[in-house]
Amino acid sequence: MMRDMVTCFNEHAVRISETTCSSSTIQSCISHGQTPSPSIQNAVICQYRISLSNQGQLLVTLTWCRNHMGQGLNVGFGDDPSTTSLNLNNAISRFFRKKKGSKSFEHDGSKITVFWDLSNATYCSGPEPIDGFCLVLMVGSELGLVLGDLAQELANKKLKNGTQMAKFCLVSRREHYSGNGLYSTKAQFCEKGVAHEIMIRCVEGSEGMKQPVLSVSIDKRTVTKVNRLEWNFRGNQTIFVDGLLVDLLWDVHDWFFNPVCGSAVFMFRTRSGMDNRLWLQQGEKTVISHQENKEHERVEFSLLIYAI
C-alpha cells in the first residue's frame, strides 16, 4: 500500500528542500488503553486539479513529508507525478536547500513556473505548514494554484498585471501515520463546507473484552463502531456530511495478518453529483431529489488515511 506513495525525492520532481521520506518501524496499532496518545503524521499528499481557460486540465500533486532532518516538499505533475518532464536528479544540491525561490520548466507543451517561500513557515505536529508560507503555480499565462497565507500578495500582483486566474480544487488528500491507534485530522468535503474534525480510534474492548474495537467520529459524534475488528477487518458504511453522501471504507487486514510490513487504510469519499441523490420518505412514496446542474458537476473528493 505504501508503494503508490510518491517519494519525497525522486528524479522527476520539483524538490524544495533536502529531506527524504522514511517509514517508521512497525508498531502495534491496537492501543491497550482507552486514551491512546495521538499517532505521528509522517506525510501528507494532496492532489489538485487545475481547470484552464482553454478547457485543459492539469493535475498537481504536493507531497509534504518529514523525517529527523526536517520538512520536505515535492511537487509533481500529471496523472503520474513520477514521470513529469522535469528532471532535477543531477541538479546542484544547493537548489534543494533553498526555502525561497522560483523554477520554470516545460510540461506537456505548457510553461510552468513554481514560486515558493517556506523561509518563515510554521508547523504544528505534521509535515504540512499551517501558516507563514507561500506556494504559487503559473501555468502559461494563468495563475493556476495559490496556497498559503502569504500567497495572496503575490497573486494580487499577478492579477493586477492582467494575469488570468484559473480554477483549482482539491480532489484527494492522503495522510500517512505511524504510532498508536489514534488518528486525528480535519477535512472539508465540499468547496463551501466547513472543516470537520475526524478521529479514528482503535482500542481494546471495555469490560474485559480483549477484542479490538474500531470507532470513527466526526466533530466528536460517533458515526460508526466496529466490534470484533479482527473478524470485521474490512467494511464500509455510508454517512451524511454537509448534506452529502460520503462513503466510509476501512481495511485493517494487514494489522492482523501482515503486521511486519502491512498498513491499514481508511477512506472517506464523497459521491459525484449524479450519484449524490437525497432520498426523502413521504408516507409510502419515495421521492428522489436531484441536485441542480452545478451540483451534478460536483468534483468527487477523497481522504485516505494510511496507518502503520
**Alpha-carbon dihedral angle through residues 118, 119, 125, 126, given to the nearest 10 degrees:** 20
Q: Does the pLDDT of residue 293 top 70, yes or no?
A: no
Q: Does the pLDDT of residue 279 top 90, yes or no?
A: no
Task: State the average pLDDT over residues 268-284.
Answer: 59
Going by pLDDT thresholds of 50, 70 and 90, the confidence category of residue 208 is: low
Q: Does the pLDDT of residue 232 top 90, yes or no?
A: yes
Task: State the average pLDDT over residues 248-263.
Answer: 90
CA separation for the pair 35, 43 (Å, rounded): 24
- The model's pTM: 0.81
Q: Does the pLDDT of residue 284 top 90, yes or no?
A: no
Which amino acid type is present at position 172?
Answer: S
Q: Does the pLDDT of residue 307 top 50, yes or no?
A: yes
**Alpha-carbon dihedral angle through residues 177, 197, 30, 270, given to the nearest 10 degrees:** -80
Task: State the average pLDDT over residues 195-215.
Answer: 84
pLDDT tens digits, one per residue of 136-150? 999 999 999 999 999
